Amino acid sequence: MTAPQVEVLLQTILSGLLLGGLYALIGIGMTLIMGVMKIINLAHGELMMVGMYIAYVLFSTFHIDPYLSILVAAPALFLLGVFLQKFLINPVMKVDAIIPENQVILTVGIGMVLANIATIIFSSDYKTTPVDYATKAWYLSDIWKTSPIEISLSLPWTVSFCCALAITGGLWFFLGKTDMGKSIRATAQDKDAALLMGVNVEKMRVVTFGLGSALVGSAGCLFIPIYYLYPDLGGQFTLTAFVITILGGLGSTVGAIVGGLILGVFESLTSTYAGMGWAPVGRFVIFLAALIFVPQGIMSLFTRKRFGK
Amino acid sequence: MSMLEVKNVSRFFGGLAALTDISFSVEKGEILGLIGPNGAGKTTLFNVVNGFYGPSEGEVLFNQARISGLKPHQVCIRGIARTFQVVKPLQRMSVLDNVIASAYLRTGSRAVAETKAVETLKFTGLYDDRDIISKGLPLGKRKKLEIARALATGPEMILLDESFAGLNPTELNESIEIIRNIKATGITIMIIEHHMKVIMSISDRIVVLNYGQKIAEGTPEEIRSNPLVIEAYLGEAQNA
Amino acid sequence: MKKYLPLLIAGILALLPLIGLSSYWMHILILVIMWSVIGMAWNLLGGYCGQVSFGHAAFFGVGAYTAGILYNKTGMSAWWGLPASIVVVALFALLIGYICLRLKGPFFALGTLAMGVILRVTAENLTTITEGDLGIMIRERTWIDKTYYFYIILILAVASFFVVKKVIESKLGYYFVAIREDQDAAESLGINTTFYKTVALSLSAVITGLAGAFYTNYMGYIDPKIVFALHDISIVTIMVVMVGGVATFWGPFVGAIIMVFLAELIRSIPKLGAAHHTFFGILLILIIIYLPNGITGDNPKLKRLLRMGKTT
C-alpha cells in the first residue's frame, strides 16, 4: 500500500469511529428500552428526528448552538417518552391480541404520526443548521509536526463524538451508581424478582422509556451540525439502532457501544470504497451476517455462555 | 428388550453440569418413575430425550436407534410424545382442535384426525369440554389436555412431566386412572412426579436423580428402603 | 348459505362494472381488491401462523420488478411477469425465510423489515438491471379501459381466497395456528416448525408478489420508492389486516375497503391530504388499543358493545 492509500484507509476508519460513537448513543437508547420493557421501539429514529427539529428551531429562531440545545431537547424528549409509555404503550401491553407484536406495530404508528406532523409543520424540505464551524477541520500535522502521514478530521464530528462519550459516561454512572439506575438494571434482568425486591417496575418502565428517548434526542442534537434534516429521516436511524442492538446482543449496553463503533467503521469503509449509495446496504450486510453467524451478538464471542434454563 | 436407553448422558450449561453421566433404560410396557428434589435435572433429562437439548456427552437410543441430536419433532415422529410441566395449550384453539392438531401427525385426513382426537378425548375424560377454548380451561383439565395431546400423536412412549401437580384429590384419582389405562394400551411411560404416594403406587421401577446424578434405581420397595434416597430426598419429602 | 357467500360476493363484484362506473370508481375498486389480495397473503403468515412480517413490500416489490424487468430487458409483455413472479418471489421467499425465520417474535418482524429496506436500496443502486430511481415505465398499455384490469385482479383475489381457505381448513392450517399459539408445544407435537413456517412464508410471498406483478401492469410505472415502500406498502398491509380482522377470511377484504376509502377520503379533503399518515397512524393506534383483533375479529369488547346495543 502506498502512503496516500494508507492515509485514505486511516482517515476512513477514524471517521467511521467518530460516526460509530454517535451510533452507539442511538443504540444504547434502544437497547435500554428493549432490555427493560422487552419491546422494540420502532419510533426510535422518529424521536431522534424530533430532537433534531428542536435543535433546528432553537438555532433558526434564537441562534442557540445545536450543542447547547441538548439541554432543551433531552428533557423535552424525556417528557415525550414518558407520555408515550404511560398513555399508549402501557395500555397496549395489557391487551390480549392474536398478534403478540402489537406493541411493535403501535410504535410504528407513533413514528408515522411524528414524521407526518413534522412534515406538516416544517415541510419535507431538507434543513440544516449552518453553524460557522461546520466545515472546519483539524489536521494531524497541527499536533504532530513530523507525522509521516496526514489525516484531517471534521471539527464538528470530533466535538459530537466527545459529547457522545460524555453522555455515555454519564449514563454509565447513572446506571451503575445511583439507586434508580440499579433498579432499572434489576428490572431489565428479572422483572418478577425486581418486583419482589420492592422495585416499582411500572415506574422504572416509564423512566426507561423517557431516558431512552432523551438519549436518542441528544444524539439528534449531536447529529444536526453534521447532517441535514428532513421529516422522514427517522426510519433509517430506527433501523440503524436495531442493527446495532442485534450486533451488540439484545439488551447489552456495552454491546451497543461495540456494535455502534463496528457499524460506523463498516459504513465508512463501504462509502469510501463502494460508493455512497451502497452505505445502507453495507449496514444490512453486516446485520445479516450478525444474524446468521453470531445470533447472540458480538459480545457473546468474548463472554462465556450464561447458564440457561 | 429396552425401549429407551439413556447411555452416559451429561449436559452442561456453560460450566454448570445439569446432568452428569446418567445411564438407565426403560423397558417396553413399563411405567418408570423419575424422582428427585427440585433442580435435580429431571426436566432437563426430559428435554434431552425429547430433543430440545442435545446431550453434551453420551447418547440416547430409542428402539435401538440413536435419537439424541434429532429435533423434537423428529423424536415425536419416531414415537416419543411429551407433556410440559408448565402446561402449553394452544390457547386460542378449542380443546378438540388442540387434539386434532396433534392427531394430524400420522394422517393428512381431517376425518381420520378428528376420529382419533375424539377417541383420545373420551379416553382422557375431556370429551364434554371439547368445544371450550383452551385458554379458559381450569388447571386440572389443562393437565389432562397435555396428556390427551401427547396421546393423539400415536406414541409408543410418553413422557409425563408433573402431570399431577396442583390437582385436587378427585382430579388426582382420575389422572392416576388415566395413566393406568394408558399403560394397559401398551404405551410405555416415563413420569416425573413429586407426589410420593402416587409415584410409589403406579411405577414399576423408579430412577432417582440428585444434583444431576443418578443416585438410585429399582422397584418402589427398593427405593423406599435405599438410605441414599432417604437422605437426599424422601426424608425431607415425608416430613413435609 | 354460508358456503356460497364467497361465490355470491365474487358474483356481485363481477357484475359491478356493468352498472357503468366511472374510471375513478373502477380505479378505487381495483385498489380495494388488490389490497384484499395482499392482506389475505399477509394474514396467512401473520394472522394464522403468527409470524408478523414488516417487510411484505419486499415480496410486492420483487413481483413488481419481475414484471418490469422482464418487459424492459426482453421486450416481452409485462403480463408474463405474473407467472414469472411466482418462481422469482418463491426463491426470494426461501432465501429471506432461511435468514429471518431463525428469529422469533418481534425480531422476525424487524428482520423482515430490514429485508424490505435492503431490497429497496439494492433496487435503487443496481441501475443496470432496475434503472434505479428512474424506475421502469411500461410504454404500451394493454388496455385503456379499466374493466379488464378489474377482472384480472378479481380472478386473482378469488383464487387467493380459495387457496387461503383451503390451506387454513387443512392440516397445514392447524399446524400454522399451532405454531402461532406455542412454538415449543408445536415442535414437541411432531410439527416441523421451521418447515411449516417456510411454507407459510413462501405461500404468502407468492400471492403478494402476484399482486405486485399486477401492479406493474396496471399502473404502468414502478420505482423502488413506490413498490418497496415501508409505510405505504408494508405497514398499510398490516393495517389492512389489523383493521379488518386478524386470522379471519373476510378481515382483509373489510380492511381493504376501509383503508382504501379512508385514504381517498383524506386525500380528497384539501389541506388534510398531507396529513394522511397522521390519520393512518392514529387509526392504527386506536385499533391496536381498542380492537386488537380487528373489526371482524374475535373481540369481546365489540361483542359486548353490540349486545348492549341490542338490549337497550
Per-residue pLDDT reduced to its tens digit, C105-138 = 777 888 888 888 889 988 988 888 888 888 888 8
On chain B, the residues whose CB falls within 8 A of the CB of C177 are 90, 92-93, 97, 101
DSSP C55: -
Q: With a CB-CB cutoff of 8 Å, which residues 83-112 of chain A face chain B?
A: 98
C5-24 residues touching B, CB cutoff 8 A: none
Cβ of B104 and C175 within 8 Å? yes
What is the β-pairing status of strands B16-27 and B2-13? antiparallel
Confidence of residue C91 (pLDDT cuts 50, 70, 90): very high
CATH number at residue A9: 1.10.3470
**Within 13 Å and on the Cβ side, how many CA atoms surround B47?**
18
Write the DSSP symbol of residue A34: H
Residue A223, domain member (yes or no): yes
Cross-chain residue pair A98–B92, CB shorter than 8 Å: yes
Q: Give the pLDDT confidence score for residue B240 in this predicted structure.
A: 44
* Cβ of residue B14 closer than 8 Å to a chain A Cβ: yes
Q: What are the DSSP calls for A185-246, one per residue?
A: HHHHH-HHHHHHTT--HHHHHHHHHHHHHHHHHHHHHHHTTTS-B-GGGHHHHHHHHHHHHH
- Report if residue C154 sits inside a domain: yes
Closest chain C residue to the Cα of A290, Cα to Cα: C99
ipTM for the predicted complex? 0.88
The confidence score (pLDDT) of residue C312 equals 40
Q: If you average pLDDT over every residue of chain A, what do you get?
A: 83
Task: Tell me whether residues C281 and A116 touch, CB distance under 8 A.
Answer: yes
Q: Residue holding cell 415525550?
A: A80
Grid coordinates representing A10?
Answer: 486511516
From the candidates A87, A108, A285, which should be mutated to test the interface with C, based on the most C CB atoms within 10 A?
A108
B38 touches chain A (CB under 8 A): no
**Number of domains forming the structure of chain C:** 1
Q: Is residue C181 less than 8 Å (CB to CB) from chain A?
A: no
For residues B191 and B163, the answer to whether their CB atoms sit within 8 Å is yes
Domain annotation covers residue C298: no
Helices A234-248 + A279-293 axis angle, to 10: 30
Count Cα neighbours of A5 within 13 Å in the Cβ-side half-sphere: 3
Greater pLDDT, C16 or B145 = B145
pLDDT of residue A296: 64
Dihedral angle computed from the Cα positions of residues C210, C216, C222 and C227, in that order, rounded to the nearest 10 degrees: -20
Encode pLDDT of C192-211 as tens digits: 999 999 999 999 999 999 99
pLDDT in tens, A57-95: 999 898 888 888 999 999 999 999 999 999 888 888 877
Other C-beta atoms within 10 Å of C280: how many? Answer: 24
Residue A307 belongs to some domain of the structure: no
Chain A residue numbers with beta carbons less than 8 Å from the beta carbon of B13 are 305, 307-308
Q: Is residue A309 part of a domain?
A: no
The model's pTM: 0.86
* CB contact burial B31-66 (16+ within 10 A = b; e otherwise): bbbbbbeeebbbbbbbbbbbbbbebeebbbbbbeee
Total beta-carbon pairs less than 8 A apart between chain B and chain C: 77
State the total domains in chain A. Answer: 1
- Partners for B (CB, 8 Å, 3+ pairs)? A, C
Structural contact between residues B76 and C190, judged by C-beta atoms closer than 8 angstroms: yes
- Domain region containing A65: 3-301
Q: Give the Cα-Cα-Cα angle B35, B36, B37 (nearest 5 degrees).
A: 140
Domain membership of residue C36 (yes or no) is: yes
Put simply, the answer to whether B90 touches C185 (Cβ < 8 Å) is yes
Rounded Cα gap, residues A217 and A256, in angstroms:
17
Neighbours of chain C (3+ CB pairs under 8 A): A, B
Interface contact flag, B73 C190, Cβ < 8 Å: yes
Greater model confidence, C199 or A285: C199
Is residue C100 a part of any domain in this protein? yes
How deeply is C249 buried, as exposed, middle or buried, from its count of CB atoms within 10 A (0-12, 13-18, 19+)? middle
Domain coverage including residue C56: 2-230
Percent of chain A predicted with pLDDT > 90 = 17
B150: closest chain C residue by CA: C189
Report CB contact under 8 Å: B97, C188.
Answer: no
Q: Is C136 contained in some domain?
A: yes
Could you tell me which residue, A142 or C261, shows the higher pLDDT?
C261
Q: How far does the CA of residue B86 sit from the closest CA of chain A (Å)?
A: 13
- Asked if the model's pLDDT at residue C310 lies above 70, the reply is no
- Are C297 and A113 within 8 A, CB to CB? no
Q: Which of B67, B88, B133, B161 to mutate to test the interface with C (most CBs of C within 10 A)?
A: B88
* Rounded-to-integer distance, Cα C162 and Cα A55, Å: 54
C-alpha–C-alpha distance, residues A8 and C37, integer Å: 51
Instruction: Please indicate, yes or no, if residue C159 is contained in any of the structural domains.
Output: yes
Assigned domain for A308 exists:
no
H/E/C letters for each residue in chain B?
A: CEEEEEEEEEEEECCEEEEEEEEEEEECCCEEEEECCCCCCHHHHHHHHHCCCCCCEEEEEECCEECCCCCHHHHHHCCEEECCCCCCCCCCCEHHHHHHHHHHHHCCCHHHHHHHHHHHHHHHCCHHHCCCEHHHCCHHHHHHHHHHHHHHCCCCEEEEECCCCCCCHHHHHHHHHHHHHHHHCCCEEEEECCCHHHHHHHCCEEEEEECCEEEEEECHHHHHHCHHHHHHHHHHHHHC
pLDDT, one tens digit per residue, over A138-186 is: 777 777 777 677 777 788 888 888 888 899 889 888 888 888 888 888 8
Chain C residue numbers with beta carbons less than 8 Å from the beta carbon of A277 are 121, 124-125
d(CA A87, CA C114) in angstroms, rounded, equals: 28
Residue A188 included in any domain? yes
**Does C171 contact B110 at a Cβ distance shorter than 8 Å?**
yes
Give per-residue pLDDT as tens, A114-140.
998 998 888 888 888 777 777 777 777
**Probe site for chain B from C176, C188, C196 (most B CB atoms < 10 A):** C188
**CA-based nearest residue to A77, from A51, A98, A97, A59:** A51
Return the residue in C48, C51, C117, C301 with the most chain A beta carbons within 10 A, the one to mutate for interface testing.
C117
Give A196-226 pLDDT, tens digit per residue: 888 888 888 899 999 999 999 999 999 888 8
For C280, the 3-state DSSP assignment is: helix
Does any domain span residue C132?
A: yes
Q: Does the distance separating the beta carbons of C181 and B93 come in below 8 Å?
A: yes
Residue carrying C-alpha cell 395413566: B179
- Which of A183, A189, A236, A184 lies closest to A212, judged by CA? A184
**Which residues of chain B neighbour A98 with C-beta distances below 8 Å?**
92
A-B contacts at Cβ under 8 angstroms: 10
A residues 194-223 lying closer than 8 A (beta carbon) to B? none
Residue A305 has pLDDT above 50, yes or no: no
In a domain, A251, yes or no: yes
* Residue C229: pLDDT over 70: yes
Domain-located, residue A187: yes
Which of C174, C181, C187 is nearest residue B104 as measured by Cβ atoms? C174
What was the pLDDT predicted at C301?
61
Task: Return per-residue pLDDT of chain B as tens, 240 residues.
Answer: 789 999 999 998 877 888 999 999 999 999 999 998 888 888 999 999 999 988 999 999 999 999 988 999 999 999 999 999 888 888 888 999 999 999 999 988 999 999 999 999 999 989 999 888 888 888 888 999 999 999 999 999 999 998 888 888 888 888 899 999 999 999 999 999 888 888 888 999 999 998 888 988 999 988 888 888 877 765 555 544
pLDDT of C299 over the 80 cut: no
User: How far is Cα A256 from Cα A104, in angstroms, rounded to an integer?
Assistant: 20
Contacting residues of B for C190, CB less than 8 Å apart: 73, 76-77, 81, 102, 105, 153
Note whether B64 contacts A: Cβ–Cβ < 8 A.
no
Check residue A82 and give its pLDDT. 94
Residue C118, CB-side half-sphere exposure with 13 Å CA sphere: 20
- Domain-embedded: residue A289: yes
Residue C305 lies in a domain: no
> Using CB atoms and an 8 Å cut-off, which of residues 155-194 of chain B contact chain A?
none
Q: Is C50 an interface residue toward A (CB < 8 Å)?
A: yes
Q: Does residue C311 have a pLDDT over 50?
A: no
Q: How many residues does chain A have?
A: 309
pLDDT at A308: 33
Among residues A280, A233, A247, which one has the least CA distance to residue A122? A233
Q: Which 289-308 residues of chain C touch chain B by CB within 8 A?
A: 298
| Residue whose entry in the numeric block shows the C-alpha cell 409505510 | C231
Dihedral, CA of residue C248, residue C251, residue C253 and residue C256, to nearest 10: -140
How many Å apart are CA C124 and CA C73, to the nearest integer? 17
Distances A42 to A74, A75, A103, B11, C240 between C-alpha atoms, Å? 19, 21, 9, 39, 19
